[in-house]
């Protein structure tokens, strides 16, 4: 069984559309994350939730809205997609406690292409 | 904001030891240093984590000097399958929440 799974793996859409990426972890972890990796391979944290509560919220356009229905799921909804949103988005989870210490387990990524 | 600095790329021949250094001058007292490995079209994978001095596991060693402002990931006797991007991660306080800053990554190319 995949520990951290993201769907879809690929997402191609037009500018202005709204899309969602889903993430689920079966590791029993308390903390989940969303990262964005751009074409230059920079990996930047976007959000982090601990037990369904937002604990990290980086400088991200408010078109991006994370939603955590339970601690095993952290979905990412993006409104009014722009060309610059094209990237690979990674979901991750960790056990909880000190965010700075915890080892993160990453999903395989969702490659978003905005046309 | 904490920032990390790593070499953009490194080349090595198979069988050699590779050392990748990460600078993190603003590391906070409670922060740990974690290294991840990423292969193309995959998510990053944990390699090793440490707080100070030296840590060793079956894959790598991590050397951290007393001032903790840098760390060095050491990969013994690399093989072609070690070709990947290696990221250094430290946590740092900022704006009321902890921020996780990945280094820009070091692309290691292992040459036969």
Question: What is residue A97's predicted lDDT score, i.e. its pLDDT?
Answer: 62
Question: What is residue A1's predicted lDDT score, i.e. its pLDDT?
Answer: 63
Question: What is residue B96's predicted lDDT score, i.e. its pLDDT?
Answer: 38
Question: What is residue B103's predicted lDDT score, i.e. its pLDDT?
Answer: 67
Give the residue from chain A lying closest to B90, CA to CA. A100
In tens, the pLDDT along A73-98 reads 999 999 999 999 999 999 999 886 65
| Chain A interface mutation, best of B43, B45, B102, B108, highest count of A Cβ atoms under 10 Å | B43
Is pLDDT above 60 for A72? yes
Question: What is residue B59's predicted lDDT score, i.e. its pLDDT?
Answer: 93
B7 interaction partners in chain A (CB closer than 8 Å): none
User: What is the mean pLDDT of each successive set of 10 residues along chain B, which is 112 residues long?
Assistant: 83 97 88 91 93 94 96 96 93 51 86 94
Give the distance from residue B52's alpha carbon to the nearest chain A alpha carbon, in angstroms. 13
pLDDT-derived band at A101, boundaries 50, 70, 90? low
Is pLDDT above 70 for A100? no
Question: What is residue B37's predicted lDDT score, i.e. its pLDDT?
Answer: 96
Give the distance from residue A43's alpha carbon to the nearest chain B alpha carbon, in angstroms. 6
Is pLDDT above 80 for A58? no
Give the distance from residue B63's alpha carbon to the nearest chain A alpha carbon, in angstroms. 17
Structure letter (DSSP) for residue B60: -
The reply to whether residue B97 touches residue A55, judged by beta carbons under 8 angstroms, is yes
pLDDT-derived band at A99, boundaries 50, 70, 90? low
Lowest-pLDDT choice from A20-24, A98-102, B18-22: A98-102
Contact B63, B2 (CB under 8 A): no
| Chain A interface mutation, best of B57, B94, B96, B100, highest count of A Cβ atoms under 10 Å | B100
What is the SS3 assignment for A19-73?
A: EEEEEEECCCCCEEEEEEECCCCCEEEEEEEECCEEEEECCCCCCEEEEEEECCE
Find, among B23, B84, B41, the residue nearest to B59 by Cα: B84
B26 interaction partners in chain A (CB closer than 8 Å): none
Contact A72, A23 (CB under 8 A): no
Give the residue from chain B lying closest to A92, CA to CA. B43
| CB < 8 Å from A in window 41-80 of B | 41-46, 49
């Amino acid at each position: 069984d995949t520990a951290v799974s993201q769907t879809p793996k690929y997402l191609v859409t037009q500018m202005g559309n709204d899309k969602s990426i889903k993430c689920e972890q079966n590791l029993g972890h308390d903390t989940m994350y969303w990262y964005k990796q751009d074409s230059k391979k920079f990996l930047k944290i976007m959000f982090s939730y601990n037990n369904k509560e937002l604990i990290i919220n980086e400088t991200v356009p408010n078109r991006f809205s994370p939603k955590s229905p339970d601690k095993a799921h952290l979905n990412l909804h993006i409104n009014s997609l722009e060309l610059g949103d094209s990237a690979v988005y990674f979901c991750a989870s960790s056990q909880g406690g000190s965010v700075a210490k915890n080892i993160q387990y990453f999903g395989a990524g969702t490659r978003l292409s905005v046309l | 904001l904490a920032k990390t600095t790593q070499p953009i790329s490194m080349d090595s021949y198979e069988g050699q030891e590779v050392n990748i250094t990460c600078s993190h001058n603003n590391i906070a007292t409670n922060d740990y240093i974690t290294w991840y490995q990423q292969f193309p079209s995959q998510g990053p994978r944990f390699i090793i984590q440490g707080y100070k001095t030296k840590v060793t596991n079956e894959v790598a060693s991590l050397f951290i000097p007393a001032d903790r402002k840098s760390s060095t990931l050491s990969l013994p006797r690399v093989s072609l399958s070690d070709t990947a991007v290696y990221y250094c991660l430290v946590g740092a306080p900022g704006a009321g929440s902890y921020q996780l800053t990945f280094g820009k990554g070091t692309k290691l190319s292992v040459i036969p």
